[in-house]
């Protein structure tokens, strides 16, 4: 069947900000879909609030709306654009839920928009557990015993019937929020209550636990001629009970015979047909009893999912692209397989390698939360590795994680005292380091059977680990020999791990290998196990006989990617890498991408001329560079990961293009940077270092409190704190000296109530252009990644803007920047302080690019290739007529116990962008995009630290003028009343009931303003913030945030909400800026 010609314009809904359970895999799938649809000649309208996505690049879709993904916003866009159809299955759960809401409310019918891929009844049948269960019963497939509950009484009744352990799953939530395993009544009460609250429809499923069963996933595709193929089978290393996004997974399935696999395959196909997914990809999860083989269906997703992205990267089969083509009417046998060219997409990929995925967690950022994996997702990223054996792929995956582990061999925290007890508990309770505890347990003599009993990890996997450990032991106990070296490399051992076993450095091992000619070969991921010629150069390394790379004679440049997503290093850096690749291709230079993150656009096989899916470690990267011999290597786009390799690469003679690693080091090294600052006559906050408590106290005394303190040699603002008094400093020092023993503690004067400024600039070595100056909403001291910011700034005087520009240019010239650079400044009392200079791509590059309509990363790449900014036509700062706001999105609801207060340590996982004519509306949009409701009436609860009382009065007055009731804790209320602002006193939780949290629960509070000072906050403050978080009430924990929210509330109430595509913002001189910024300026700090 050919493509449909009755459709002209298709609307795609993206997945919004990066959050836990919904990350950049949906940019990957959405980008593929946009490209596929445009390739077919359709006009594509896109909505996504996430500026760091490739799909929202203005040249991707025809019309790109960076607007909040809410039914209201999408309706506005539909009314404006009148698309013929909507493709809801490629934007994750957010896209799907939004489409469902639009279908249910009749918007789609009203505007005659057809839903492609999956209709409303199909989505309901797949997503509604009860309907799904009935469907499974009709086709004779078993599901775990379960029941649905809308209240606690139902929960108890059903639980009685099923028996413990019981799984609670909240209906209509993301990534298993509000889900958990209850082993007893008490846990049942706790988890079920949370689940009922988390569910959009106040419903939980109470389910028989298949804990310990083997877990599998099949990725399935169907076309409208009812052809169904399985793209990939995935087996979870972790048994049932751990969310599949939290599990180590392996493709293809390893421990099923063909008979069992075919039974699962038949079931998956039957499910596709019964649910009625018309076209596209779906994912079906199964559990298999380890002793009887009994198979049950766990769930299905009628859309492209995280696993689809993994399956696409694992097989080379582009699921999202094909899904888009199927949606417009093609059948599988009409779509060519890009990789083989001669065969069609209607087949099932055959792998001749093993793929291992390991999630990346950041529990260290949320110390209040126990490192315990459940059916609710907590990981923020993942890495994938390909090897010819499981052992090789596992060891590659471990070093790809970038957690300082280069094999199974390194020591674990706290394994010494009470070793056996600790090991047992670490085996029984799944956790982020369980793989390593398993290794430790086996090493300490526990048998595979014992470990199996405790973990339910299939013995096949345990034996694989055992074999690696036996190899380790043999290596450690033998005299190093070439033969052993060869064998070890074949099994996936890194040079670093071998060095540790043989008492040598990584470099000694590498040199030895070079002398012996032991180097990896590169094999192709080709979807067909070499049965057909493959044309797409998608490679992985292994130690075998034949290599399949064909280095070209063209000019070529390698881009080193950022590895797995983590807090602080995510999609923004991948965006830059992808742009580098696009720019290389525009310049006719061959692009070589190196990365290990399966969720990204950078690891799509058609993003670059060559893709190496490899760990981003010095060893693995050098191998590729030695084989390909590129003319240049780009390290400044992938975040900290490639930068950490820069010195090693340079020492190995690799031609790094752009800003030199020496210049990067000059900027990052505190002492060397201070020299630059004094040379250029710039200002830095007063600072010092200390090695012990006494030294720190003396330094702080000299500098003056508050001080910003942090251990050196830690990343991402880890353990950074603002300290207001000597007592807190003492306790900080005690902890910090433990974290980073032997390293100095850095002490900076903390500029209170200073305005923080972020600048992204680009330089060709001669000319420097400031690309964007961003004003932070939150004051200095909040990590820049967690702070909202505005472009262009709204409260900065023109003279100050000039100083910022001038200093930026001086710094760029001094450092010899070629490419991108980011500077953080603080403004206090009309003084400009340089806080930090990073001569590399920053997190804000995509936001600035979207805000000003200039593709900075592409320009930077071309500059690195030798072009001048003059030649590229970018010599002037673009000051847009519209206002863009970037807001951070936080994962607090995933981490029970975590406080939502912001500080110098970054905690956000993603960002959204609000764009409009006024600051207020742009900020309001950013809040909606971040998932909050903007209230227009109701009550605002205010409770602020004494330090902020003066500042809050204006805010309260403005809100009252807008018609909000002001509720406040006694102290704040008294202060406000004293200033003539009517405020009603509300009890703190400790003051008896009804208290503020009761009001939040009852829906009587629409906005929460609650500030604290310092690290510790009272239990009362914590309860308030936690209440706001749980009930998704818009909140702020800073004074500046309160001012911005007030401005937003005003705009939201008084202005029209218009949705315009980026293409129009860039083209048109928009309506004049509406400067109603009095409240934002406030009384202190702002210049």
Partner 1 sequence: MSPFKKNRRALLVLEDGTVFEGSAFAGEGEALGEVVFNTGMTGYQEIVTDPSYKGQIVAMTYPLIGNTGVNNEDMESAVLHLEGFIVREYQSHPSNWRMTKSLKAYLEDAGKIGMEGLDTRALTRRLRLSGSMKGILSTVSRDIPSLLTKVQNAPGLVGRDLVQEVSCTKPYRWDKGAPEAVSLPVGKSPGNPRVVVLDCGVKYNILRILESNGCEVIVLPAGATGRQILSCSPDGILFSNGPGDPAALPYIVEAARNVLGKAPVFGICLGHQILAQALGGKTRKLKFGHHGINQPVKNLKTGRVEITSQNHGFAVVLESVGHKASPTFTNLNDGTSEGMKAEGAMSVQYHPEAAPGPRDAEYLFADFVALMKKRR
Which positions touch partner 1 (CB under 8 A)? 225-227, 229-230, 233, 252-259, 261-262, 265-266, 290-293, 331-333, 342-344, 346-354, 388-390, 458-460, 463-464, 466-468, 470-471, 474, 484, 487-488, 491, 523, 528-533, 544-546, 548
CB of 647 to partner 1, least distance (A): 34
Distance of CA 853 to the CA centre of its chain: 24
CA distances from 878 to 615, 696, 770 (A): 38, 44, 9
Asked whether the beta carbons of 746 and 710 are under 8 A apart, the reply is: yes
CB of 818 to partner 1, least distance (A): 41
Q: Cα(1085)–Cα(775) distance, rounded to whole angstroms?
A: 13
Q: Which residues, at least 6 apart from 266, have a Cβ–Cβ distance to it below 8 Å?
A: none
CB of 679 to partner 1, least distance (A): 57
Q: Cα(493)–Cα(514) distance, rounded to whole angstroms?
A: 16
What count of Cα atoms within 13 Å lies in the side-chain half-sphere of residue 344? 9
Q: Which two tokens stand for residue 1049?
A: 């509330």
DSSP helix/strand/coil, 665: helix
Q: Cα(605)–Cα(99) distance, rounded to whole angstroms?
A: 29
389 versus 410: smaller Cβ distance to partner 1: 389
Output DSSP code: residue 822: E
Sign of CA dihedral 1020, 1026, 1027, 1033: positive
CB of 384 to partner 1, least distance (A): 17
Output DSSP code: residue 371: -
Q: Cα(657)–Cα(660) distance, rounded to whole angstroms?
A: 7
344 versus 662: smaller Cβ distance to partner 1: 344
344 versus 797: smaller Cβ distance to partner 1: 344
Q: Which two tokens stand for residue 356?
A: 């291992």
User: How many contiguous H segments (helices) and E segments (strands) does the chain have?
Assistant: 38, 38
370 versus 516: smaller Cβ distance to partner 1: 516
DSSP helix/strand/coil, 827: strand
Sign of CA dihedral 866, 872, 878, 882: negative
265 versus 303: smaller Cβ distance to partner 1: 265
CB of 90 to partner 1, least distance (A): 23
CB of 8 to partner 1, least distance (A): 27
CB of 133 to partner 1, least distance (A): 25
CB of 512 to partner 1, least distance (A): 18
CB of 42 to partner 1, least distance (A): 25
Q: Which two tokens stand for residue 935?
A: 């209230």
Q: Which two tokens stand for residue 169?
A: 């799953």
Choose among 801, 758, 795: nearest CA to 780.
758
269 versus 693: smaller Cβ distance to partner 1: 269
Length of the chain: 1087
463 versus 1081: smaller Cβ distance to partner 1: 463
CB of 346 to partner 1, least distance (A): 4
541 versus 641: smaller Cβ distance to partner 1: 541
Phi and psi torsions of 870, nearest 5°? -55, -50
361 versus 493: smaller Cβ distance to partner 1: 493
484 versus 851: smaller Cβ distance to partner 1: 484
307 versus 844: smaller Cβ distance to partner 1: 307
Q: Cα(453)–Cα(433) distance, rounded to whole angstroms?
A: 18
Q: What is the spatial order of strands in the sheet that 745-749 belongs to?
A: 687-690, 745-749, 707-711, 721-723
**If 0-12 CB within 10 Å is exposed, 13-18 middle and 19+ buried, where does residue 514 land?**
exposed
CB of 170 to partner 1, least distance (A): 33
Q: Cα(31)–Cα(578) distance, rounded to whole angstroms?
A: 12
Angle at the Cα of 1069 from the Cα atoms of 1067 and 1071, rounded to 5 degrees: 130
27 versus 223: smaller Cβ distance to partner 1: 223
Cβ density class 58-80: b for 16+ within 10 Å, e for less? bebbbbbbbbbbbbbbbbbbbee
486 versus 987: smaller Cβ distance to partner 1: 486
407 versus 563: smaller Cβ distance to partner 1: 407
545 versus 1069: smaller Cβ distance to partner 1: 545
548 versus 802: smaller Cβ distance to partner 1: 548
CB of 543 to partner 1, least distance (A): 10
CB of 349 to partner 1, least distance (A): 7
CB of 32 to partner 1, least distance (A): 22
Q: What is the 3-state secondary structure (H, E, C) of 670-711?
A: HHHHHHHHHHCCCCCCCEEEECCHHHHHHHHHHHCCCEEEEE
CB of 391 to partner 1, least distance (A): 8
Q: Cα(1020)–Cα(1001) distance, rounded to whole angstroms?
A: 16
CB of 505 to partner 1, least distance (A): 23
Cβ density class 932-955: b for 16+ within 10 Å, e for less? bebbeeebbbbbbbeebbebbbbb
Q: Cα(462)–Cα(447) distance, rounded to whole angstroms?
A: 10
**If 0-12 CB within 10 Å is exposed, 13-18 middle and 19+ buried, where does residue 793 land?**
buried
């Amino acid at each position: 069947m050919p493509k449909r010609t009755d459709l002209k314009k298709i609307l795609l809904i993206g997945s919004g900000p990066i959050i836990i359970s919904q990350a950049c895999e949906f940019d990957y799938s959405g980008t593929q879909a946009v490209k596929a649809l445009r390739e077919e000649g359709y006009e594509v309208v896109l909505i996504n609030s996430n500026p760091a996505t490739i799909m929202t690049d203005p040249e991707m879709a025809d019309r790109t709306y960076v607007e909040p993904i809410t039914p209201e916003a999408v309706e506005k866009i539909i009314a404006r654009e009148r698309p013929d159809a909507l493709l809801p299955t490629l934007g994750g759960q957010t896209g799907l839920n939004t489409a469902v809401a639009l279908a249910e409310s009749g918007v789609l019918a009203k505007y005659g928009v057809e839903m492609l891929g999956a209709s409303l009844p199909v989505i309901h049948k797949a997503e509604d557990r009860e309907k799904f269960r009935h469907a499974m019963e009709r086709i004779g497939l078993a599901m775990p015993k379960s029941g649905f509950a809308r209240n606690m009484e139902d929960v108890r009744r059903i639980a009685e019937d099923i028996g413990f352990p019981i799984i609670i799953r909240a209906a209509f939530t993301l990534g298993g929020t509000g889900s958990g395993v209850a082993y007893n009544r008490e846990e049942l009460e706790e988890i079920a209550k949370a689940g009922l609250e988390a569910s959009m429809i106040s419903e939980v499923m109470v389910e028989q636990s298949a804990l310990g069963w083997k877990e599998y996933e099949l990725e399935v595709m169907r076309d409208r001629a009812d052809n169904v193929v399985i793209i990939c089978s995935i087996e979870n290393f972790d048994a049932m009970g751990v969310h599949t996004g939290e599990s180590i997974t392996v493709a293809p399935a390893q421990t099923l015979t063909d008979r069992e696999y075919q039974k699962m395959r038949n079931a998956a196909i039957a499910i596709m047909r019964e649910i009625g997914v018309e076209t596209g990809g779906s994912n079906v999860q199964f559990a298999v009893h380890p002793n009887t083989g009994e198979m049950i269906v766990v769930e299905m997703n009628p859309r492209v999912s995280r696993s689809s992205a993994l399956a696409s990267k694992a097989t080379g089969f582009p699921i999202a692209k094909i899904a888009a083509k199927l949606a417009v009417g093609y059948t599988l046998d009409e779509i060519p397989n890009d990789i083989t060219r001669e065969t069609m997409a209607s087949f099932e990929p055959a792998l001749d390698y093993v793929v291992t995925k390991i999630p990346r967690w950041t529990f260290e950022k949320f110390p209040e939360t126990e490192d315990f994996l459940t059916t609710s997702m907590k990981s923020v990223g993942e890495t994938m590795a390909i090897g010819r054996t499981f052992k090789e792929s596992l060891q590659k995956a471990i070093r790809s994680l970038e957690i300082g582990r280069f094999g199974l061999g390194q020591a674990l925290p706290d394994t010494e005292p009470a070793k056996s007890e600790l090991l047992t508990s670490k085996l029984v309770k799944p956790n982020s380091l369980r793989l390593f505890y398993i290794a430790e347990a086996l090493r300490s003599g526990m048998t595979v059977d014992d470990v199996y009993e405790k973990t339910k990890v299939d013995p096949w996997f345990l034996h694989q680990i055992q074999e690696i450990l036996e190899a380790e032991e043999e290596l450690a106990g033998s005299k190093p020999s070439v033969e052993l070296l060869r064998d070890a490399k074949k099994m996936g051992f890194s040079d670093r791990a071998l060095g540790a076993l043989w008492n040598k450095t990584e470099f000694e091992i590498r040199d030895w290998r070079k002398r012996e000619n032991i180097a990896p070969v590169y094999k192709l991921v080709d979807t067909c196990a070499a049965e057909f010629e493959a044309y797409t150069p998608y490679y992985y390394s292994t130690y075998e006989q034949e290599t399949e790379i064909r280095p070209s004679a063209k000019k070529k440049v390698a881009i080193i990617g950022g590895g797995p997503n983590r807090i602080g290093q995510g999609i923004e850096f991948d965006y830059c890498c992808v742009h580098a690749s696009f720019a290389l291709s525009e310049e006719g230079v061959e692009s070589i991408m190196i990365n290990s993150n399966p969720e990204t656009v950078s690891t799509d096989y058609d993003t670059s001329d060559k893709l190496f899916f490899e760990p981003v470690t010095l060893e693995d990267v050098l191998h590729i560079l030695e084989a390909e011999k590129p003319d240049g290597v780009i390290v400044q786009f992938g975040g900290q990961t490639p930068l950490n390799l820069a010195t090693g690469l340079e020492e190995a003679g690799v031609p790094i293009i752009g800003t030199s690693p020496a210049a990067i080091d000059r900027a990052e090294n505190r002492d060397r940077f201070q020299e630059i600052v004094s040379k250029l006559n710039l200002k830095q906050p007063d600072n010092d270092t200390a090695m012990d408590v006494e030294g720190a106290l003396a330094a702080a005394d000299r500098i003056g409190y508050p001080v910003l303190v942090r251990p050196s040699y830690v990343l991402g603002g880890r353990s950074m704190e603002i300290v207001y008094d000597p007592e807190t400093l003492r306790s900080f020092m005690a902890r910090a000296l433990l974290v980073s023993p032997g390293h100095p503690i850095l002490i900076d004067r903390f500029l209170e109530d200073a305005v923080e400024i972020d600048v992204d600039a680009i330089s060709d070595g001669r000319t420097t252009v400031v690309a964007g100056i961003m004003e932070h909403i939150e004051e200095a001291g909040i990590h820049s990644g967690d702070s909202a910011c505005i472009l262009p700034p709204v409260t900065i005087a023109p003279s100050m803007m000039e100083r910022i520009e001038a200093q930026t240019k001086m710094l760029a010239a001094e450092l010899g920047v070629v490419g991108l650079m980011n500077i953080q400044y603080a403004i206090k009392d009309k003084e400009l302080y340089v806080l930090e200079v990073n001569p590399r791509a920053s997190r804000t590059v995509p936001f600035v690019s979207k805000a000003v309509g200039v593709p900075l990363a592409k320009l930077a790449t071309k500059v690195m290739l030798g072009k001048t900014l003059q030649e590229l036509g970018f010599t002037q700062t673009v000051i847009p007529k519209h206002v863009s706001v970037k807001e951070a999105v936080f994962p607090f609801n995933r981490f029970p116990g975590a406080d939502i207060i912001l500080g110098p340590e970054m905690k956000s996982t993603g960002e959204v962008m609000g764009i409009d004519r006024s600051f207020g509306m742009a900020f309001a949009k950013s809040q909606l995009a971040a998932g909050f409701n903007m209230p227009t009436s109701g009550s605002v609860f205010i409770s602020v630290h004494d330090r902020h009382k003066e500042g809050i009065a204006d805010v309260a007055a403005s809100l009252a003028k807008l018609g909000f009731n002001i509720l406040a804790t006694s102290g704040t209320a008294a202060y406000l009343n004293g200033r003539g602002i009517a405020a009603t006193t509300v009890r703190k939780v400790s003051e008896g009931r009804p208290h503020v949290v009761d009001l939040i629960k009852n829906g009587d509070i629409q906005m929460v303003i609650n500030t604290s000072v310092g690290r510790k906050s009272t239990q009362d403050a914590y309860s308030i913030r936690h209440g706001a978080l749980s009930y998704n009430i818009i909140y702020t924990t800073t004074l500046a945030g309160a001012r911005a929210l007030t401005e937003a509330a005003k705009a939201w109430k008084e202005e029209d909400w218009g949705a315009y595509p980026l293409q129009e913002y860039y083209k048109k001189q928009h309506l004049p800026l509406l400067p109603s910024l009095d409240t934002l300026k406030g009384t202190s700090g702002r210049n």
